[in-house]
Amino acid sequence: MQLRHFLSLRDYNSADFFSILENAARVKRNRSALGAPLQDRHIALIFEKPSTRTRVSYEVGVKQLGGTPIVLSANEIQIARGESMADTARVLSRYVDGIMIRTFSHEKLTELAGFSSIPVINGLSDKYHPSQTLADFQTILEMGKHPDKIRIVYMGDGSSNVAHSLIFGAALAGSEIIIVSPKEYRPDPDVVEAARSMGARLKISADLKDAEESDVLYTDVWVSMGQEKEAEAKKTILMPYQLNEKIASKMNNGGILLHCLPAHKGEEITEAAFESSYSRVFDQAENRLHAQKALMHFLFS
């Protein structure tokens, strides 16, 4: 079987992306629909940072696919004392059948994958959060619109891991995506170039008018784990790009609001927008479980 990792959606094609999403919808309707591809298999789930959704949805997902999760906080393994990702990968490859990791630096993730002989899944790095994007697009497709007729607007910190992965998801889905962010927080030029070379219909704008007439309005927390030092300055720059009721009311008919959670209400999103009838944030959180089961079925079947 060919070894596949899941580090970024830039390494995937549209056929694989839609195949995973179709299985995500199937397994949402029937939790056993994908069988037990992880029977007699162990999956290490490594966390260098806190997590609620990723932690619980991967552990439950592995069990529902017949496997055994081994949850490891980085503090309890030798990574915390400086053991390299390369050595960790070569050791774990001899014990378990797959690794899901949440880490700080994307370089560390690629080092781990480079030395691993088993699939490695990105559960969040500083550059990408593709596990989240699968759930995002499962939720977006539940709107029932054809993907190439959907306009997604991401407001706020366009340089975030969630924005970067959403850009690649939109490129694979054929959806239009507009990043509305101040010039200080635009997406990484490397991401923009790679997404455009995949055919992305991507616009980067600082003009709030470009956030109007969307089908999906998406935002994420402004200050990520590890960015606490720049918090106050960042909040001031981003405040005009808050997702509020005014901008939500300018969505197209049937438009939805997404947020990958956890939310800082009153900062990147208002309480009223978060709790509004447009909000699909808890469907989106639920879909982490279904989409990741479909991903693991794809990687391990």
State the catalytic residues: 102, 129, 132, 220, 260, 288
Q: Nearer Cβ to ligand CP, position 131 or 192?
A: 131
Size of the site for ligand CP (CB under 6 A): 8
Q: How far is the CB of 2 from ligand CP (least distance, A)?
A: 28
260 binds ligand CP (CB under 6 A): yes
Among residue numbers 261 through 290, which ones bind ligand CP (CB under 6 A)? Answer: 261
| Beta carbons of 70 and 80 less than 8 angstroms apart | no
Q: How far is the CB of 44 from ligand CP (least distance, A)?
A: 17
Q: Nearer Cβ to ligand CP, position 125 or 175?
A: 125
In the set 19, 51, 105, 227, which binds ligand CP (CB under 6 A)?
A: 51
Listed in sequence order, the DSSP H helices in the chain are: 14-29, 53-64, 85-92, 106-114, 130-141, 161-173, 189-197, 231-238, 245-248, 271-274, 281-300
Number of helical H runs and strand E runs in the chain: 11, 9
249 binds ligand CP (CB under 6 A): no
Query: In angstroms, rounded to a whole number, what is the distance separating the alpha carbons of residues 90 and 107?
Result: 17
Q: How far is the CB of 275 from ligand CP (least distance, A)?
A: 18
Q: How far is the CB of 203 from ligand CP (least distance, A)?
A: 25
Segment contacting ligand CP (CB under 6 A): 8-16, 49-57, 165-173, 240-248? 49-57
Query: In angstroms, rounded to a whole number, what is the distance separating the alpha carbons of residues 212 and 153?
Result: 8
From 146, 148, 86, select the one nearest 113 (Cα to Cα): 86
132 binds ligand CP (CB under 6 A): yes
Q: Nearer Cβ to ligand CP, position 23 or 132?
A: 132
Q: What end-to-end distance do the CA atoms of the chain give, in Å?
A: 9
Longest CA span, the chain: 54
Cβ partners under 8 Å of residue 234, min gap 6: 157, 185, 222, 223, 227
Segment contacting ligand CP (CB under 6 A): 51-59, 148-156, 207-215, 290-298? 51-59
Q: Nearer Cβ to ligand CP, position 86 or 225?
A: 225
78 binds ligand CP (CB under 6 A): no
> β-strand 98-102 against 151-155: which pairing, if any?
unpaired
DSSP symbols for 242-298: -B-HHHHTTSPTT-EEEE-S---BTTTB-HHHHTSTTB-HHHHHHHHHHHHHHHHHH
Q: Nearer Cβ to ligand CP, position 53 or 106?
A: 53
| Helix/strand/coil for 177 | strand
161 binds ligand CP (CB under 6 A): no
Measured CA distances, 284 to 5, 44, 249 (Å): 23, 24, 20
**Residue holding tokens 């054929």?**
174
> What is the DSSP secondary structure assignment for residue 154, as one 8-state letter?
E
Q: Nearer Cβ to ligand CP, position 116 or 284?
A: 284
The contact pattern for ligand CP, residues 88-127, with x = CB under 6 A and - = no contact, is: ------------------------------------x---
Among residue numbers 189 through 248, which ones bind ligand CP (CB under 6 A)? Answer: none
In the set 53, 108, 127, 151, which binds ligand CP (CB under 6 A)?
A: 53
In the set 13, 32, 39, 52, which binds ligand CP (CB under 6 A)?
A: 52
Using CB under 6 A, list all residues that contact ligand CP. Answer: 51-54, 124, 132, 260-261
